[in-house]
Amino acid sequence: MGIAGIIMALLTFTGANEYLGSKVAVPTAMKSAELALSPEFNGKVKMHAFFSAQVTQANVLEEFKRQAESVARGEMGYNEARNRMQSFLAAQGVGQVELDKEAEGYDPKAAGMSNIASTRRIELILRQNVDMARSVGRKQVSESPGVVAAYPYYRYIARMDKRTRAEHAKLNNLVLPKDDPFWATHTPPWEFGCRCDLEDCDEEEAAKYGIGTAVTKENPEGGADFAQVDNPETGPVNVNPPESGFVFRPAEAMAVQDMSLVQKVEARREILARMESILPEDQVLKVTSTAPVDQASQVMPLNLKEIRGLVEKVAAGKLPEQKVSLGDLLPEHVDAIGLPPTKASISYTSPGVERQFGVAHNLKNHDEVAADAERTLKIWANTIWNTGARVKYVAKGKMRRMVLLNVDTNEIAVLIRKGEGWDLEMASTWDKVPKSYLEENELV
């Protein structure tokens, strides 16, 4: 293998490891059919969850994830990982170990799939997650600008044997541009046990096989897209979403992490720290917490009188050079997304101290709020001082922003990281925030 090949392999393994590392173990008692139809466990959730039907023990899922990561990194093979899982499950008293014959891949409906400790079930879980991880890693490499310039197409390669699904076989040698929407949900493995693959394809090879066409239709249930494909080699193909509800969207694999799926705060912190440590300078990390809070409360800062004084001066058109603390970031907001448990103050800055954010920004872009002292304080009370506000955290390069949204009052506050603390960048109602601002700052 040449230097270029070694670099490609390292990048692929890095991407695979990042993908598996970002997935969250989600225990569930649902059966396969229930998972396929569940609106609570839709395709978006599945993309960021490490789960298996009727596996309710978090420690079992974490061990599966750990073994899959080791295989993806090339530290061990499937046989060793499978043996370790069987030993772990036996020690935990989970399932009954069966001595099934080894196989390359299996249909989830095959015998033994209902037993989490069976060779077949373990094999499926490991292979499926490792193949998905490697696919994400390969996509990061194959769609880098230099590679796309030389190889602008993907060629679909089906494993043409008796176990290959008819629908997958009809896609064999399909050539489409790498940016074709078809690949969004039909990049292998796009079904349980799928053994298909993609190959980078240049202009000469594309001309050899012929460039196909695909018309996709979004699945309203969040699963894989519907598609009508014209493959020059096999003819028209109607591609339907898998009946199992399986969905694989490699382009979205690292896009957003919902920490609501992670029960333990310590685990959230570990996941966020790991994702930030591997975040490339030109990519965006978005972390959310969508779970509602049962008993929300307002935690008002001790220096409320000082804060009110500045807000009233601003509303009256007086702009003193002043920086006022709005209190510390609430522990509930810190814990929701997995930030370190350190106190971080929130500041509101008046012109003369910092003109880019704070008072200057609000007067220029949200004057209807800044000019009304009581409304300003009300929005703050419903967002930065409210334990029930939904939290979104955005990281890109050295920039860190936090969005606090009150879904009941439709009010929003945006904080920007400054040193060890945060500055209030803006506060308003959601309908008054320009879409261009949200898009420019990756807040949507």
Tokens matching residue 278? 């591997």
Residues 119-135 pLDDT 10s: 777 887 888 878 887 88
Query: CA dist 78 to 51, 123, 137, 197, 375, Å?
Result: 19, 8, 19, 19, 60
pLDDT band for position 244 (cuts 50, 70, 90) = confident
pLDDT of residue 203: 96
Instruction: Say which residues have a Cβ less than 8 Å from residue 363's Cβ, sequence separation at least 6.
Output: 314, 370, 371
Mean pLDDT check: name the lowest of 75-79, 103-107, 297-301. 103-107
Q: Count other Cβ atoms within 10 Å, centred on residue 217.
A: 10
Q: Rounded to whole angstroms, how far apart are CA atoms 112 and 120? A: 6
pLDDT of residue 313: 82
* 374: enclosing H helix or E strand: helix 373-382
How far is residue 298 CA from its own chain's centroid?
Answer: 30
Phi, psi of 230 (to 5 degrees): -115, 105
Residues 220-243 pLDDT 10s: 876 788 999 999 999 999 999 988
pLDDT band for position 110 (cuts 50, 70, 90) = very low
Instruction: Say which residues have a Cβ less than 8 Å from residue 360's Cβ, sequence separation at least 6.
Output: 349, 350, 351, 354
pLDDT of residue 341: 83
Mean pLDDT check: name the lowest of 49-53, 159-163, 394-398. 49-53
Q: Count other Cβ atoms within 10 Å, centred on residue 420.
A: 9
Which of 26-30, 73-77, 216-220, 225-229 reaches the highest mean pLDDT? 225-229
Q: What percent of the chain has pLDDT over 70?
A: 69
Q: Where are the domains of the chain?
A: 1-142, 143-250, 269-440
Q: What percent of the chain has pLDDT over 90?
A: 26
Q: What is the mean pLDDT of the chain?
A: 76
pLDDT band for position 12 (cuts 50, 70, 90) = very low
| pTM assigned to the model | 0.51
Tokens matching residue 282? 């030109």
Q: Rounded to whole angstroms, how far apart are CA atoms 321 and 333? A: 29
Tokens matching residue 91? 């020690």
Three-state DSSP state, 387: coil
pLDDT of residue 322: 72
